[in-house]
Structure 1
Amino acid sequence: MYSPLRNSRVKLSLGQIFWHEVGQGPNLVFLHGSWHDSSQWLRTIEHLSSYFHCFVPDLLGFGESEYPNIHYSIDLEVECLAEYLNTLKLQQVYLIAHSLGGWVAASYALKYPDRIKGLVLLAPEGVQAGNLQQRWQIASWLVARPPVFFWLLQAIYPIAKLFGGKKKIEGLLHFRNRLIESAVAIQLLFRRTRAEIIAELVDERLPLLTAPVLLLHGSQDTPAAASLCQSYADLAPHTELQSIDPGSSNLPEEVPELVAKYIRDFVK
């Protein structure tokens, strides 16, 4: 039976949170990725609303949620999520999360294990997979102030077009635009002190995770994404790792029906 999508807002102690909601049944809460907002999950929940009660919030500082002028951290996002779930009287939930949202979800599950029935994580951040500084170095250069790297890209673009580098430069410039629109993600991932970022990684705590975890990554995603999933699979005790083919870096929008099938099978 068709269930209409509802949009709502609630005022919490840290700011107002916006979310989409649809369906009935077991409670599924979806957290978006680093460079996205709640709309990332809309195509996926179309295939789930007949079976589950889906909640899809914008994290604090993202999308249509409030963007207070505060110092952001993963723990702050976790506490905001906890208050949001308490306000909606959601006692036990499944968390389905991508990228940065996966880091928040795993941290929440470790802090509130009795509130979590299971996790579905897609290329989740939050572990020391590879060299963290190196992985985000280009992104850091793209949004550096003054924008020297951006000026360099603009300068070499006409030459790059002559030698087959047009798509690569355009891809970097497009990525820069997405970064600029994601100020909180930038702060959480690489614009804090290294010590603060390291302190919030979950590597050492994942062996304590009691909830079952389904890990998904696209077969055509980056090696870094595969490494993130493998790190979670190696460290958390109750995990299942699946590679989705075809699939790249944004599975909820690329193959929503397939992602929904994995979620249905995991929850049931």
Structure 2
Amino acid sequence: MEPYHNLLKLALRSLLAAAVRLRDTTFKFFTAVADTLFSLYFASCSMLPCTVDLDADSSSDDTTTLHFWATAARNFRPSLVMIHGKCGDSRWQFMYQVGHLSRRFDLYIPDLLFFGKSYTARKERSEVFQAECLAEGLRRLGVDRFSIYGISYGGYVGYHLADMIPDRVDKVVLMSTGVGCNDDQKDELVAKLGRDPKLLLVPRTTDDLRQLMLKSVYRSGYMKLIPDSFLQDYVNVREIGHKKEKMELVDHLLAKSSGAGRSLPVLTQETLLIWGNKDYVFPMNLAYQLQRHLGSKARVAIVKEAGHAVNMDAPDEVNRLIISFILG
């Protein structure tokens, strides 16, 4: 693992230990410091925040705003759009990848709607709408051609984005995503979780959050040491925003009779499917199912001893796979 990854992990663990010891007074301070640390880290990787108002030229009150972290000065390298999943914002999910990938690509990392600083007043909750907004946001940033790397829910959005504007998307990397699940498979996955998925993806209690962590990260032994009091404060401080809208996103994703598995378009781009062999959320058979759907332009890469959050369990291996595939 590269030195800056070790430094980042050490800094976060030190902050976590301090916050646990002084929980009653320091958690909000801890989250503020962690956010500042992430922002400084992204800035050190030549990434800067920017906001795109998609309704700036419209008289409508249905405001839609997308927040990005983007490469500050374009270096005429291949552009890579990194799309996060449903847990946390883009900085938390890509903290172990942005340093390495920023040296090979011009990066564009959005917060999806209702995550981070992105928001819409419109009523649409579909992955297609997320993709439409992202396509327009990237156009306004002047990103003409790019490849896509989407995690879990971000894989759904990335899939539709690639299908929507095939002339602008070069290659596609999808990781640990349920794209192509039919209704029966959705029922099986929900039954396997043993609880309402909304309670995991939009946690309200310490048990919800702990189960989400344990089911997502295979190498999660250290998470068992985090006290419930800390997790509850995290829920109260970090997960308070846009709960209703986030639950509606989950409802739409799991909606029956969508025909997702039958009407899913076939992408024209070369596609890499990255999966952990210990994925509890979306098992490996879904990777091979999606590969069969996509045909000869798709291949599967299995990461051993990694769960649903492969980017957390094995970030260096994921980085190598992405670089080799997109630049190869």
TM-score (norm 2): 0.64
What does residue range 21-170 of structure 1 map to in structure 2 within 5 Å? 21-22=70-71, 24=75, 25-39=77-91, 40-68=93-121, 70-128=123-181, 131-136=185-190, 138-140=195-197, 142=199
Equivalent position SS for 1:215: strand
Structure with the larger RCO, 1 or 2 (CA within 8 Å, 6+ apart)? 1
Equivalent position SS for 1:46: helix
How far 1:114 moved relative to its partner? 1.0
How far 1:191 moved relative to its partner? 5.2
1:159 match:
none
Q: Does 1:250 pair with 2:303?
A: no
1:12 to 54, 58, 71: 54
Q: Does 1:218 pair with 2:270?
A: no
Structure 1 unaligned residues grouped into runs of 5+: 154-166
What does residue range 163-178 of structure 1 map to in structure 2 within 5 Å? none
Instruction: Give the distance between the partners of 2:159 and 2:99, measured in 1 at CA.
Output: 25
- Matched-pair contact (CA < 8 Å) for 2:126–2:252: no
TM-score (norm 1): 0.77
Equivalent position SS for 2:283: helix
- Matched-pair contact (CA < 8 Å) for 2:282–2:308: no
Instruction: Give the distance between the partners of 1:41 and 1:64, measured in 2 at CA.
Output: 16
1:109 and 1:202, CA in 2 relative to 1: closer, same or farther beyond 3 A? farther
- Matched-pair contact (CA < 8 Å) for 1:121–1:214: yes
- Matched-pair contact (CA < 8 Å) for 1:62–1:184: no
Equivalent position SS for 1:132: helix
2:250 match:
189
- Matched-pair contact (CA < 8 Å) for 1:203–1:235: no
Instruction: Give the distance between the partners of 1:242 and 1:45, measured in 2 at CA.
Output: 21
Equivalent position SS for 1:86: helix
CA RMSD of aligned residues (A): 3.2
* Aligned amino acid, residue 229 of structure 1: A
* Aligned amino acid, residue 46 of structure 2: P
How far 1:133 moved relative to its partner? 3.1
- Matched-pair contact (CA < 8 Å) for 2:45–2:98: no
Instruction: Give the distance between the partners of 1:140 and 1:50, measured in 2 at CA.
Output: 37
1:163 match:
none
* Aligned amino acid, residue 111 of structure 1: M
How far 1:180 moved relative to its partner? 7.2
2:288 match:
230
Equivalent position SS for 2:288: helix
Instruction: Give the distance between the partners of 1:111 and 1:132, measured in 2 at CA.
Output: 24
2:19 match:
none
Q: Identity of counterpart residues, as a percentage?
A: 23
Aligned length: 241
Cα deviation, 1:44-72, whole Å, max 9, x if unaligned, reads 12111111101110011112212536231
Structure 2 unaligned residues grouped into runs of 5+: 1-43, 56-62, 209-223
1:74 and 1:265, CA in 2 relative to 1: closer, same or farther beyond 3 A? same
Instruction: Give the distance between the partners of 2:289 and 2:249, measured in 1 at CA.
Output: 20
1:72 and 1:132, CA in 2 relative to 1: closer, same or farther beyond 3 A? same
2:7 match:
none
What does residue range 256-267 of structure 1 map to in structure 2 within 5 Å? 256-267=315-326
Greater alpha carbon shift after TM alignment, 241-250 vs 17-26: 17-26
1:7 and 1:228, CA in 2 relative to 1: closer, same or farther beyond 3 A? same
